[in-house]
Amino acid sequence: MVDLKGLVYYKSRNVVFLIFFHFVTLSAQNDIQSNNLFSVQPPLPLQLSYTNKQIKKETNKEKGIHTNLLYKQGENWDTVPISLRARGNFRRNTCYFTPLKVYFKRGGTQNTPFEDHKNIKIVLPCLLEDRSNDDVLKEYLAYKMYELLSPIHFKTRLATLDYTDTRGEKEELHPLAMFLNDSNKVLYNGEEAWAARKPKNHTLLTILIEDDKVVAKRNDAKVLERFVHPLNQEETISTTNAFFQFMIGNTDFSTAYSHNQKLIFKEGKSYPIPYDFDMSGLVNASYAVVSNINNTSLEIDKVTERQYRGFKRNTALFEDTRKHFLSQESEILKILEAHKPLFKEVKSYETAHDFISDFFAILKNDLRFQNEIVEIAREK
C-alpha cells in the first residue's frame, strides 16, 4: 500500500480552487499514467461554451448541440469534439443549469482521458447560489461512499468547469436604436436594431459519471430495461442500496419504478445501481423536497429526516448489512475529511459530517436500529 497526499491549486477566472487529493495504491498511479478518466485523481479542469437557454430544449442525441470540450492536463489545454443534450425533467424545468449528457465523436478521443467512453454524464449545480458548489461536492461524496459499500456502482470524477453561456443572438435592443435622426425616426430598424447578448461566465464544480453500459461491461453484465421488484433483485446488493439511501437521507428513488436507479443483469440476477442524490438530506439542497413517488406520501416533512425505504428481509441479512456498514465507518468518514478543504463553507462540511455520523449512531444502538430500520421496512 502506498498513501501519497498532495495539494494542487487550480486557478480559473480569478477563482482559486484548493484541490486535495490522495492516491491509495500504486495501481491508481498507473491508472493516471494510462489516462484512465475515473481513476483516483484531482478534479479535472474543463471548459465548455453553449447557450444555456437552448440546451434545455435539446433532450435527444440527434438534436444535440455540437461544440468542443476543453480539458487540461498538466499545463496544456486540449480539445475533443462533442455533442450535448439536457438530462432530467425536474432540473430542466426547475434549475438554472441543467445536467448534461455528453456524446463523443467517433475517433475523437484517442490518447485522451475520454478514450473508451462513448458518452458520459455531467452533473452541474442546480441554482445560482453561493452554496451550489458545496452541494455538488456533497453529492459527489455520496457516490464515493457507495463505491466503498457496493462492488457494483457508478464511477465518478470531480471536475472544475469554466462554463461560458453564449446566450444567443439578437436578444437585446442595440443602444443606438434609441437615437433618433433629424426626422425623429429610429436610426436603426428591424434586424439592425438588435445585438448579441454578452456571454456570461461561470466557474462550477461538477461531477463526471460513467455510462451504465460501461458499468455493465466492467461487471460482465448487461443493462436491464424492465421492471424487477426489489424483492426479486439480488438481496445483498439490494439491501446495501436501501441502507445507503437511508444513510444519506434519500427517499427520491424507486428501484421498482427505475427512478434514479439502473439495473444490470448477470447470471440470472439483477443488481440495482443508484444515482442522483441531490434530494438527499446529506446534500440538503435549497430546492430539495421529500419525494412523492407514485403518489406515496411519507411520514417525514423535510429531507434531513430519515425514513427507511427498503423492504423487509430476514434478520440475518439485516444484521450482516449492519455489520458491513459499521466496518466501513472510518473509511466513509475519511472520505468526508479528505475533501474538507474543497468546501467553501466550513459549516456545510460539519453538517454533512454530523449527518453521516448520526446514521452510524443508529446502527450502534440496538433500539434505534430496530425502530428506525427493521420495524419501518416496507412490505409492499
Q: Is the pLDDT of residue 346 over 90?
A: yes
Mean predicted confidence (pLDDT) in 216-237 = 94
pLDDT digits (tens, 9 = 90+) for 75-107: 999 999 999 999 888 888 889 999 999 999 988
Three-class SS of the chain: CCCEEEEEEEEECCEEEEEEEEECCHHHHHHHHCCCCCCCCCCEEEEEEECHHHHCCCCCHHHCEEEEEEEEECCEEEEEEEEEEECCHHHHHHCCCCCEEEEECCCCCCCCCCCCCCEEEEECCCCCCCCHHHHHHHHHHHHHHHHHHCCCCCCEEEEEEEEEECCCCCCEECHHHHCECCCCCECCCHHHHEECCCCEEEEEEEEEEECHHHHHHHCCCEEECCCCCHHHCCHHHHHHHHHHHHHCCCCCCECCCCECEEEEEECCEEEEEECCCCCCCCCCCCCCCCCCHHHCCCCCCCCCCCCCCCECCCHHHHHHHHHHHHHCHHHHHHHHHHCHHHCCCHHHHHHHHHHHHHHHHHHHCHHHHHHHHHCCCECC
Mean predicted confidence (pLDDT) in 343-354 = 97
Q: What is the pLDDT of residue 232?
A: 94
Q: Is the pLDDT of residue 163 over 90?
A: yes
Task: Point out the least confidently predicted range of 38-47, 93-102, 293-302.
Answer: 293-302
Q: Is the pLDDT of residue 219 over 60?
A: yes
Q: For residue 321, what are the contacts with CB-CB under 8 A and spacing of at least 6?
A: 236, 239, 240, 243
Q: What is the pLDDT of residue 3?
A: 34
pTM for the structure as a whole = 0.85
Q: What is the pLDDT of residue 30?
A: 37
Q: In the structure, what pLDDT confidence band is assigned to residue 256 with cuts at 50, 70 and 90? A: confident
pLDDT digits (tens, 9 = 90+) for 114-123: 999 999 999 9
Mean predicted confidence (pLDDT) in 236-253 = 97
287 touches 127 (CB < 8 A): yes
Q: In the structure, what pLDDT confidence band is assigned to residue 196 with cuts at 50, 70 and 90? A: low
Q: Is the pLDDT of residue 169 over 80?
A: no
Domain boundaries defined on the chain: 219-380
Mean predicted confidence (pLDDT) in 242-270 = 93
